[in-house]
Amino acid sequence: MDIQALLDELYAMTFFGVKPGLERITALCEAADNPQYHLPVIHVAGTNGKGSVCAMLTAIFRAAGYRTGVYTSPHIRHFNERIRIDGVPISDEDIARLARPLMDVAKPIGGTFFEVTTAMAFRLFAERHVDVAIIETGLGGRLDATNIVHPLLSIITSIDYDHMEYLGNSLEDIAREKAGIIKPDVAVVIGERRPELRYVFAEVATRLHAPLDIAHDRLHVDVDAWHPDFTMTVSVIDETFRDYYTTDLCGQHQAENIATVMAAVGQLSSTFFLEHRHVREGLRNVKGLGCLRGRMEPLQTSPLLLLDVGHNPAGCRALVDTLRRCGYESVNVVLGAMADKDVDGMVRALAPVTSAFHISAPAFPRAMATSELATVVRQHHMNVIEHPSLAAALDASRHTDTVCCGSFHVADEILAAMEKESSR
């Protein structure tokens, strides 16, 4: 079995482009006996935070002893990371077994990489009879390939500008696309705070008779302590109780994600046996039980080497806020980015804590060229050093506190460089 050749063939289907619509995924799943109808699904959409919310829920369900499938994207190091059961990535053997027949169906109808991968996840989760399947949208919601599920609960995290060419140029338009995962008579938890965006979700939920749970209307999460190792202690407050949790995630944005997760647990408690001790254990070990990487992840502590996959201005602002709260006011930034992102906004957000930008282009077709990225950085009158690779940028910067960010592809190359170094 040449798994890399098969994956290369699957990756090549990205050249078909992004094709919003449910016709092709419907055909693929019909060819696979509609596994999505046999899954107890939690469906998660949003611009920022949906990966962390999926990981927190995964950790909580695993702490409670449930067989838990999770489908997220993109991966950082290996394709297999996208589809996991109880933390174990899909095997190469299962990829080969599931991908080939689905690709044979997909190619004649113009199916895409993401559609085939989504159908693979549904099929594997159904075969393994998972107790719960936590499914993250890829792009948007309404026309996302994952949106053929019939969920137990829908969750929409915070909204920001991203993928405007597909989702619209206003936050209201983007929110409306995300609201497309709301299903008739299925409860939906909303993690967005802004009233004008919450109104969009309320309007859709009312029309579909979907019970609406605005997490921040009834739950308040305060960060009580920020720790230098990028963990934190929070208090969760609602009308009836106050409880305290320590989590291996960090950031005010993660406190807001915890509120969303707590609201979701409340909605799910009538279907699943989830106690406070399960929530406590899950939040304490999100990165382990939830298999979450690249979210304010310290790779070393002295000097600091921090990895974060934030790839839009909101993610970069959250990163800067967290750095400051944990005591870091000046860092080197190793930066690479995709050309279709708001790179100017990202650099503007990072500038207040950046002593120097060490930049390079990830080895990916959509990456912004190093020279173009340098031009953007110089427009902000920042110190910028160009490098032939992200590994070289890391070597040059890490003598002092360093943050690596800008893309999942940056995280991939940084982790690969670290693995190569540790194997010497």
Average pLDDT for residues 175-194, to the nearest whole number?
A: 95
**Residue (of 120, 123, 129) closest to 67 by Cα position:** 129
Can you tell me which residue has the tokens 């699904």?
41
Does the domain spanning 297-422 belong to CATH 3.90.190.20? yes
Contacts (Cβ under 8 Å, ≥6 apart) of 307: 293, 294, 297, 298, 299, 403, 404, 405, 411, 414, 415
What percent of the chain has a predicted confidence (pLDDT) above 70? 97
DSSP letters for 307-327: E----SHHHHHHHHHHHHHTT
- Cα dihedral 265, 269, 272, 276 sign: positive
Average pLDDT, the chain: 93
If one counts every other C-beta atom within 10 angstroms of the C-beta of residue 140, the result is: 23
Looking at 208-342, list the stretches that DSSP marks H as alpha helix, in order from N- to C-terminal side: 215-218, 252-268, 276-284, 286-289, 313-325
So what's the pLDDT on residue 61?
98
**Residue (of 45, 95, 101) closest to 73 by Cα position:** 45
Q: Computed over its alpha carbons, how large is the radius of gyration of the chain?
A: 21
**417 vs 424: CA distance, rounded Å:** 11
Contacts (Cβ under 8 Å, ≥6 apart) of 141: 45, 147, 156, 177, 178, 179, 180, 181
Domain-by-domain residue ranges, the chain? Answer: 3-289, 297-422
**Is the model's pLDDT at 20 over the cut of 80?**
no
**Residue (of 214, 359, 263, 335) closest to 57 by Cα position:** 263
**Is the model's pLDDT at 38 over the cut of 80?**
yes
Fold for 3-289, please state it.
UDP-N-acetylmuramoyl-L-alanine:D-glutamate ligase (3.40.1190)
Q: Please calculate the CA angle 360-362-363 and round it to the nearest 5 degrees.
A: 125
How many residues does this entry show for the chain?
Answer: 424
Q: Are strands 132-136 and 212-214 parallel, antiparallel or unpaired?
A: unpaired
Q: In this predicted model, what pLDDT tens digit does every residue of 68-94 receive, in sequence order?
A: 999 999 999 999 999 999 999 999 999
Does the global pTM surpass 0.75? yes
Given pLDDT bands bounded at 50, 70 and 90, which one contains residue 239? confident
Structure-token pair, residue 69 = 């499938």
Can you tell me which residue has the tokens 């915070």?
158
**308 vs 48: CA distance, rounded Å:** 13
**346 vs 323: CA distance, rounded Å:** 15
Given pLDDT bands bounded at 50, 70 and 90, which one contains residue 160? confident
Q: Decide: 82 and 137 in contact? Cβ < 8 Å.
A: no
Phi, psi for 184 (deg, rounded to 5): -55, 130
**372 vs 386: CA distance, rounded Å:** 11
**Is the model's pLDDT at 163 over the cut of 70?**
no
Can you tell me which residue has the tokens 């003598």?
399
**Is the model's pLDDT at 173 over the cut of 80?**
yes
**180 vs 127: CA distance, rounded Å:** 28
**368 vs 363: CA distance, rounded Å:** 10
**Is the model's pLDDT at 168 over the cut of 70?**
no
